[in-house]
Amino acid sequence: MRKLVFSVAVLATAAVISVGGCFSAVGEPAAASGNKIAAVHEPSAAPRASVTHVYLLRGFLNVFSLGMDSLAVELRSVGISATVDSYASWHEVAHAIAANYKAGQRGPIVLVGHSFGADSVMDMGTDLGREGVPVALIVAFDGTYTHAASANVARVLNLYKGADAMVTRGPGFHGELTNYHVDDANVTHTNIDKVPRLHAMVISKIKGVRGSGAAASTLPKTSG
């Protein structure tokens, strides 16, 4: 049912955009630029060789996941490198990560996404595994379907609303898997990426990766 409701909302939004014009990432009418949707894009600059870098992916149309932008600002404020892209760019982002890794940039890699972006960071983890690239942490904010964590991923924190967004252990995965159900009725699929307490949880998790590389989670865990 959750997926059906979200799909209806997506289709309705797409219809509004196609009829009434496009919108920018902050909900204001886009500048006169044809039918191209305006979106804030953080450049994926190459991180330094040994520091943690967080790659965040927004969801549908680049307009429903602005919590990824605010989370990136919070991360940068505590000295953690972070860039934001659309989920539609995940292949290009994964290619850049793999190239940086093979060029000697071996700092911890963290992937964070919301909705379609959550689906994409899980796919990125698998894709990077094929390239021999380890991923220190994946954080998924309520993806749209079930995923299996790949063997190259050390930790997964899955913040979800419905059981259809669970993460399971894929072949060879021996890392830390946390499926954290957000049961607050005020938190929905469309605002879960913006909840301050969840941001604090994620930042703490990322700091643990940066600090020790093997920080134990204090969250409830389930293994798929």
The reply to whether 222 falls in a domain is: no
User: 180's torsion region: left (phi>0), alpha (psi -120 to 50) or beta?
Assistant: beta
Alpha carbon distance 218, 123 (integer Å): 26
Choose between 224 and 206: higher pLDDT.
Answer: 206
- Judged against a pLDDT cut of 60, whether residue 56 lies above it is answered with yes
Question: What was the pLDDT predicted at 61?
Answer: 87
Please answer whether residues 161 and 137 qualify as being in contact, where contact means their C-beta atoms are separated by less than 8 angstroms.
Answer: no
The reply to whether 124 falls in a domain is: yes
Question: What was the pLDDT predicted at 211?
Answer: 59
The reply to whether 51 falls in a domain is: yes
Please answer whether residues 78 and 24 qualify as being in contact, where contact means their C-beta atoms are separated by less than 8 angstroms.
Answer: no
The reply to whether 221 falls in a domain is: no
In sequence order, what are the residues at sequence separation of 6 or more whose Cβ sits closer than 8 angstroms to the Cβ of residue 204? none
Question: In this predicted model, what pLDDT tens digit does every residue of 107-166 receive, in sequence order?
Answer: 999 999 999 999 999 999 999 999 999 999 999 999 999 999 999 999 999 999 999 999
- Judged against a pLDDT cut of 90, whether residue 25 lies above it is answered with no
Question: In this predicted model, what pLDDT tens digit does every residue of 82-109 receive, in sequence order?
Answer: 999 999 999 999 999 999 999 999 999 9
Please answer whether residues 64 and 190 qualify as being in contact, where contact means their C-beta atoms are separated by less than 8 angstroms.
Answer: yes
The reply to whether 24 falls in a domain is: no
The reply to whether 19 falls in a domain is: no
Full residue range of the structural domain in which residue 205 is found: 40-211
Question: In this predicted model, what pLDDT tens digit does every residue of 28-55 receive, in sequence order?
Answer: 223 333 333 233 444 445 556 679 999 9
The reply to whether 178 falls in a domain is: yes
The reply to whether 170 falls in a domain is: yes
Domain count, the chain: 1
- Judged against a pLDDT cut of 70, whether residue 20 lies above it is answered with no
pTM exceeds 0.85, yes or no? no
Question: In this predicted model, what pLDDT tens digit does every residue of 60-87 receive, in sequence order?
Answer: 988 889 999 999 999 999 999 999 999 9
* CATH number for the domain that contains residue 97: 3.40.50.1820
